[in-house]
Copies of this chain bind each other. A is one copy, B any other.
Amino acid sequence: MMDTMQGLKRTKYCGEFTAEDIGREAVACGWVQRARDKGMLVFIDLRDRTGIVQLAFDDRTDAELRAKAQTVRSEFVLMAKGEVRRRESVNPDLPTGEVELYVSDLRILAKAQTPPFEITDKTNVKEELRLKYRYLDLRRSEMQHAILMRHKIVKAAHDYYDRNGFLEIETPSLIKSTPEGARDYLVPSRVHPGCFYALPQSPQQYKQLLMLSGYDRYMQIARCFRDEDLRADRQPEFTQIDLEMSFVDEEDVMTVNEGFMAHVFKEVLGVEIPTPFLRMPYDEAMERFGSDKPDTRFGMELCDLSDLLGGCEFKVFKGALEAGGSVRALNVKGAADHLSRKEIDKLVDFVKAYRAKGLAYTRLTADAETSSYEKFLTDAEKEAIRGRLGAEKGDVLLIVADGNNQTVFDSLGALRVELANRLGLIPEGKFNFLWVTDFPLFEYSEEEGRYVAKHHPFTHPAFEDLDKLESDPGACHARAYDMVLNGCEVGGGSIRINTPELQERMFEALGFSEESARAKFGYLIDAFKYGAPPHGGMAYGLDRLVMLMLGKSSIRDVMAFPKVQNASELMTQCPAEVDEKSLRELSIAVTAREEAE
């Protein structure tokens, strides 16, 4: 049997010991970070979530007690009582390094096998092994810090929104499946054979109903679920800070949320965030940064060359312009030394991933100018390009031409960020916020052969576009806004439609028959007949916000128990097969099984 804690109570966390405690009795608990047995001297570094304190045993220690201390290994769980005394050799690297606990009572509360990897921040252990033993990985102070900070961020959200009149209201997790949007996770019902619940992709419809019910300001830390093919940094379940407000316009929502960012950054990181944030219309964001989530921490903006090349004979440029597209460029200042001809060739592959057909370039070294379009443009055209881009010796000009403007934007926008990262143009520790506004209301889906909602079908069109909803949907803007931080979308939302008449026009513009609209959103259509206030809101991706605030590169590093890319959890080995009886009770059968690995 192990020792028990009986008769002792912790009086201090390990990280809290200071010189002021010298001469006092104390009891500490924790895990063995390191044990050093020097014969008559035994030192144990004891760790808890606050830090490390040294336990000491020496030649005056009772021999049995010292012998017990010598049996201690890494990660054993201990409770130790003793007197705090000044260390012989102070450890300046440790906040508690001036003192040690001179132990008179040692309890071994649990033993530990040797862990599969050392519990230390300097780890290059494979992520898979870390996730399999997540409970050990979570002992590392780096993970503990992330989880502590996440707690503080969530607490700051509760505090801020409460103070601003938001009520936290829970919406259901077992809801009705709607075939619009991403793929739902489904939950078979036992009581209703053949019927299914869905797990919510967001509380969107419920929060709108709460506005209709008069709750005025709603917030929720909401778990959401999407059964998507997981891209690099997506999780099947993730958390939103979800908000909705009544009798508001875009400015009201943005102002409240700028206040939240200022609060949470100040509270958690001690960083002042200036407000209001820059507001940038979608069209401007695309023109200047080739992205609807521009990273404004550095320049290197996109530059439109189309008007300079009206009479150009180079068929790549000419073709793009004739197809209604554009020719745009980046000037990568002073990069000629860093970007060799060969490396530029690799950038061609990079932009091809964004559907660009190629990348034209000019390299202006100290003594020469080499250009991929040298032979195809007139000197005047080349001069005009250099002039427009403010090209100087040492610069590299990178040009994309395409008949589809989106392709030009996507490829140059991504290239801009890629090069800024490679060339170290992004300043550390800077938090650049802005709002991107005036999004298109629709985007045309080639796949579905119709316009689909860019945001969702409840987004309010811009007032000035209301008469174009039927005649020119592609030109309509939405009362939608995204909050962008350092080139990432941390949140987004919109003002919603609040009258059945406008909602009906919206459904029609989306090509829903009255019947299919009813089948999908019947209860919601009914609800809106009983008086819905103007309302709008937004949602933050909490995991991503925490990641950005802590400067992490993956949301897995700010979640206690994440899943990997194939949506499984390595620690518990889930999902897993279940017994036939459970399936029979649910009136379902499995039609295919996973191949054994």
Does A534 sit within 8 A of B, measured CB to CB?
yes
Residues from chain B with a CB closer than 8 A to the CB of A209 are 134-135, 138
Residues from chain B with a CB closer than 8 A to the CB of A582 are 177, 183-184, 186
**Which listed residue (B133, B236, B247, B571) contacts A10, Cβ 8 A?**
B247
**Which listed residue (B31, B151, B189) contacts A167, Cβ 8 A?**
B151
Q: Is the CB of A151 within 8 A of B169?
A: yes
Q: Is the CB of B239 within 8 A of A170?
A: yes
Q: Is the CB of B176 within 8 A of A147?
A: no
Cβ of A207 to closest chain B Cβ, rounded Å: 10
Residues from chain B with a CB closer than 8 A to the CB of A563 are 172, 174
Q: Is the CB of B531 within 8 A of A31?
A: yes
Instruction: Give the distance in Å from the alpha carbon of A590 to the alpha carbon of B195 in the complex.
Output: 9
A151-B168 contact, Cβ under 8 Å, with A112-B531, A139-B213:
yes
Stretch at the interface among A288-296, A423-431, A572-580: A572-580
A109-B155 contact, Cβ under 8 Å, with A210-B560, A560-B171:
no
Copies of this protein, total: 2
Residues from chain B with a CB closer than 8 A to the CB of A237 are 172-174
Instruction: Give the distance in Å from the alpha carbon of A135 to the alpha carbon of B573 in the complex.
Output: 41
Does A154 sit within 8 A of B, measured CB to CB?
yes
**Which listed residue (B144, B196, B578) contacts A196, Cβ 8 A?**
B578
Q: Is the CB of A530 within 8 A of B113?
A: yes
Does A278 sit within 8 A of B, measured CB to CB?
no
Does A594 sit within 8 A of B, measured CB to CB?
yes
Question: Is the contact region of chain A dominated by helix, strand, or loop, or is it mixed?
Answer: loop
Residues from chain B with a CB closer than 8 A to the CB of A523 are 571-573
Does A162 sit within 8 A of B, measured CB to CB?
yes
Does A586 sit within 8 A of B, measured CB to CB?
yes
Instruction: Give the distance in Å from the alpha carbon of A170 to the alpha carbon of B224 in the complex.
Output: 13
Does A385 sit within 8 A of B, measured CB to CB?
no
A196-B576 contact, Cβ under 8 Å, with A110-B499, A135-B213, A523-B571:
yes
Q: Is the CB of A6 within 8 A of B463?
A: yes
A594-B49 contact, Cβ under 8 Å, with A77-B533, A501-B1, A589-B588:
no
Instruction: Give the distance in Å from the alpha carbon of A559 to the alpha carbon of B237 in the complex.
Output: 23
Does A244 sit within 8 A of B, measured CB to CB?
no
Residues from chain B with a CB closer than 8 A to the CB of A102 are none
Residues from chain B with a CB closer than 8 A to the CB of A575 are 174, 176, 187, 189, 192, 195-197
Instruction: Give the distance in Å from the alpha carbon of A584 to the alpha carbon of B589 in the complex.
Output: 11
**Which listed residue (B463, B567, B569) contacts A191, Cβ 8 A?**
B567
Q: Is the CB of B213 within 8 A of A559?
A: no
One digit per residue, 1 when the CB lies within 8 angstroms of any chain B CB and 0 when it does not, for chain A 59-80 equals: 0000000000000000111010
Instruction: Give the distance in Å from the alpha carbon of A170 to the alpha carbon of B543 in the complex.
Output: 11
Instruction: Give the distance in Å from the alpha carbon of A466 to the alpha carbon of B2 in the complex.
Output: 13
Residues from chain B with a CB closer than 8 A to the CB of A118 are none
One digit per residue, 1 when the CB lies within 8 angstroms of any chain B CB and 0 when it does not, for chain A 455-468 equals: 00000000100100
Which residue, of A48, A112, A214, has the highest number of chain B Cβ atoms within 10 A?
A: A214
Q: Is the CB of A183 within 8 A of B190?
A: yes
Residues from chain B with a CB closer than 8 A to the CB of A36 are none
**Which A residues are within 8 Å of any B CB, using their own CB?**
1-2, 4-6, 9-10, 13, 29-31, 47-49, 75-77, 79, 109-113, 115, 133-136, 138-139, 144, 147-148, 150-151, 154-155, 158, 162, 167-177, 179, 183-199, 206, 209-210, 212-216, 223, 225, 227, 236-237, 239, 246-247, 249, 252, 463, 466, 498-499, 501, 523, 527-534, 559-561, 563, 566-569, 571-579, 582, 584-594
